[in-house]
C-alpha cells in the first residue's frame, strides 16, 4: 500500500476496523502534518512549544536592548552614556530605577565606585558576551559536525585519526591555552600579525580560539549518531540508487541527527557564556577598557557586601541568556526531530472518560465470582479468548447446545 493511501485511510478510516480514523488516546495524529512542507512543520512545532517561545522572547529582548542601547560598529546607540564615561556619583551610586512612581532615572542600574554608568557597562558586557557565544557556537558547531560525521560514516583509518585528534584536544586545559593566547595577544610590541589583529579584535579572537577547543563533545555525539544511522535501510537505499557519500552524509543522515546537533550546539553556546565569564573573571578573557559580564563581576567583587547591585545585573543577564538559549534549543530539538511524539494527558483522559476506552483498545469485560468460579457478569457474552472455550451461540442459556 502506498504512503498516500495509508494517509487517506488514517484520515477517513478503514472500513471494518475498530475506531477507524481515530488516533490513540492522547497521541497527536501524524496526519495533522499532511500537505505541509518541512519548514511549515518545523515552524508549527516550534511555535507550539511554550518554553521555546519564552526563551526566544527573552533572548530577543536582551539582544535588541544590548545592541541598540550601546550601538554597534558605525551604528550609534540611544542610551545617553557610554560604558567608558566617568560621571559624578548620584546618591552614592545606588540605582535610580523606582517603581512608585515608575521612573528609570539617570542611572537605572546604578554606578560603580568611579562613577561609570552600570546600565551602559552591562549592555556592553551583554553585547560582547553574545558575540563571543555566537562565534563559539558557529565555529564549534561546524568543526564538531564535520569531524563527527566523517568519523562515524567512513570508519576505518579516518575514524582513528579524527578520534585520536579529539582525544588530544580533550586533555589540553582550556584555561592554560587561554592564558597563553591572552599574553601573546597582549604583547603589542612584537609587531606580529596576530598581536595586531588581536589588539583591535580581541572578542573575535577569543571566540574563535574557544570555538577551536570546545567542539570535541559535539564531535563524539555526532559520531555515535552516525554510527547508528549509517546502518539504516534508507542509507542503503540511497547508496544503491547511486548517491554520493557527501549527499548521503549531508542530505540523508545529518537531517535525522539534527536533534543531537541542535541540543548540544545550544549547550555549547550556553556554556560558552559561562566559560567566557570564568576567563574574564580570572583576567585572561576580555580586558579593559572593553568589558564583558564576567569582567564586571571580577572588577566589582570587593563591593559585594556594600554595593550588591553591581553583581545583581551582570549575574541576572548571564542567567537569562543561558536559560533562554537552552529553552530555544529544546524547542528546536522537538521541532526538527521526526521521532518526537506529543502526548496530551488531558485529551487522553477526556477520550477514555467519554468513549470508555482508548481508540482501538477493547475494554475488559466485567466479571463476577459465582461459587468459586469466575464467570462473565450478567448480560455479558463470554469471550472465547478469555475463558478458553468456543463462543456461546445460544440465545437464552449459558453454555447450552448450539
* Contact indicator for 230, 253 with CB cutoff of 8 Å: yes
User: Residue 220's pLDDT is what?
Assistant: 92
Tens-level pLDDT at each residue, the chain (402 residues): 444 444 444 444 444 444 444 444 444 444 455 667 777 888 888 888 888 999 999 999 999 998 988 887 777 878 888 887 788 887 777 877 777 777 777 888 888 888 888 888 899 888 888 988 899 899 999 999 999 999 999 988 999 999 999 988 888 877 777 767 666 655 544 556 655 666 666 778 888 888 888 899 899 999 999 998 988 899 989 999 988 888 999 888 988 888 888 888 888 888 888 888 788 777 777 777 778 888 888 877 777 777 878 888 888 898 999 899 989 988 888 887 655 555 455 665 676 766 544 444 444 555 555 555 555 555 555 544 444 454 444 444 444 444
Q: How many residues does the chain have?
A: 402
Q: What are phi and psi of 261, to 5 degrees?
A: -65, -45
* Contact indicator for 326, 55 with CB cutoff of 8 Å: yes
Write the DSSP symbol of residue 102.
E
* Contact indicator for 324, 342 with CB cutoff of 8 Å: no
- Torsion angle, CA of 70/73/76/81, rounded to 10 degrees? 40
User: Residue 282's pLDDT is what?
Assistant: 74
User: Residue 29's pLDDT is what?
Assistant: 45
Q: What are 181's three cell numbers?
A: 593566547
User: Residue 182's pLDDT is what?
Assistant: 62
User: Residue 175's pLDDT is what?
Assistant: 72
What does pTM read for this prediction? 0.71
* Contact indicator for 70, 127 with CB cutoff of 8 Å: yes
User: Residue 192's pLDDT is what?
Assistant: 61
Q: What are 76's three cell numbers?
A: 550609534
* Contact indicator for 237, 243 with CB cutoff of 8 Å: no
Q: What are phi and psi of 370, to 5 degrees?
A: -125, 115
Please report which helix (H) or strand (E) contains residue 387, including its range.
helix 384-387
The dihedral built from the CA positions of residue 231, 235, 240 and 244, taken in this order, carries a sign that is negative
Q: Report the alpha-carbon distance of residue 84 to residue 101 in Å, rounded.
A: 30
Which pairs count as long-range contacts for 7-14, CB under 8 Å and 24+ apart, including other chains? 7/31, 7/34
Q: What are 119's three cell numbers?
A: 546600565
Only one residue has cell 589540553, namely 172
Q: What are 228's three cell numbers?
A: 547508528
* Contact indicator for 283, 291 with CB cutoff of 8 Å: no
Cβ partners under 8 Å of residue 113, min gap 6:
93, 303, 307
Domains and CATH numbers, the chain: 50-336 (1.10.3720.10)
Q: What are 276's three cell numbers?
A: 567566557
User: Residue 114's pLDDT is what?
Assistant: 82
Apex CA 21: angle with CA 17 and CA 23, to 5°? 105
Amino acid at each position: 500500500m502506498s504512503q498516500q493511501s495509508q494517509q487517506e485511510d488514517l484520515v477517513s478510516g478503514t472500513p471494518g476496523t475498530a475506531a477507524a480514523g481515530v488516533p490513540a488516546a492522547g497521541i497527536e495524529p501524524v496526519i495533522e502534518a499532511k500537505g505541509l512542507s518541512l519548514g511549515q512543520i518545523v515552524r508549527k512545532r516550534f511555535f507550539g512549544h511554550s518554553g521555546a517561545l519564552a526563551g526566544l522572547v527573552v533572548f530577543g529582548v536582551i539582544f535588541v536592548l544590548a545592541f541598540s542601547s550601546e550601538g554597534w560598529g558605525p551604528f550609534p546607540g540611544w542610551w545617553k552614556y557610554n560604558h567608558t564615561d566617568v560621571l559624578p556619583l548620584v546618591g552614592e551610586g545606588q540605582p535610580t530605577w523606582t517603581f512608585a512612581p515608575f521612573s528609570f532615572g539617570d542611572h537605572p542600574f546604578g554606578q560603580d565606585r568611579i562613577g561609570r554608568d552600570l546600565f551602559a557597562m552591562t549592555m556592553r558586557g551583554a553585547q560582547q558576551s553574545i558575540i563571543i557565544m555566537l562565534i563559539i557556537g558557529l565555529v564549534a558547531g561546524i568543526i564538531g559536525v564535520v569531524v563527527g560525521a566523517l568519523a562515524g560514516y567512513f570508519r576505518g583509518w579516518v575514524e582513528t585519526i579524527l578520534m585520536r585528534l579529539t582525544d588530544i584536544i580533550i586533555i589540553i586545559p582550556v584555561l592554560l591555552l587561554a592564558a597563553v593566547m591572552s599574553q601573546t595577544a597582549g604583547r603589542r610590541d612584537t609587531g606580529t600579525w596576530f598581536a595586531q589583529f588581536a589588539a583591535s579584535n580581541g572578542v573575535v579572537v577569543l571566540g574563535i580560539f574557544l570555538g577551536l577547543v570546545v567542539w570535541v563533545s559535539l564531535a563524539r555525539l555526532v559520531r555515535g549518531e552516525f554510527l547508528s544511522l549509517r546502518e539504516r535501510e534508507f542509507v542503503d537505499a540511497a547508496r544503491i540508487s547511486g548517491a554520493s557519500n557527501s549527499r548521503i552524509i549531508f542530505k540523508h543522515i545529518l537531517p535525522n541527527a539534527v536533534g543531537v546537533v541542535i541540543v548540544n550546539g545550544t549547550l555549547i553556546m550556553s556554556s560558552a557564556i559561562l566559560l567566557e565569564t570564568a576567563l574574564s573573571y580570572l583576567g585572561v578573557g576580555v580586558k579593559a577598557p572593553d568589558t564583558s559580564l564576567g569582567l564586571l563581576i571580577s572588577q566589582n567583587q570587593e563591593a559585594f557586601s556594600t554595593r550588591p547591585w553591581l553583581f545583581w545585573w551582570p549575574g541576572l543577564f548571564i542567567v537569562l541568556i543561558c536559560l533562554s538559549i537552552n529553552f530555544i534549543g529544546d524547542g528546536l530539538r522537538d521541532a526538527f526531530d521526526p521521532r518526537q511524539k506529543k502526548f496530551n494527558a488531558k485529551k487522553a483522559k477526556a477520550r477514555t472518560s467519554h468513549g470508555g476506552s482508548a481508540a482501538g483498545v477493547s475494554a475488559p469485560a466485567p466479571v463476577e465470582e459465582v461459587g468459586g468460579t469466575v464467570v462473565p457478569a450478567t448480560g455479558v457474552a463470554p469471550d472465547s479468548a478469555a475463558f478458553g472455550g468456543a463462543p456461546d451461540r445460544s440465545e437464552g442459556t449459558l453454555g447450552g447446545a448450539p
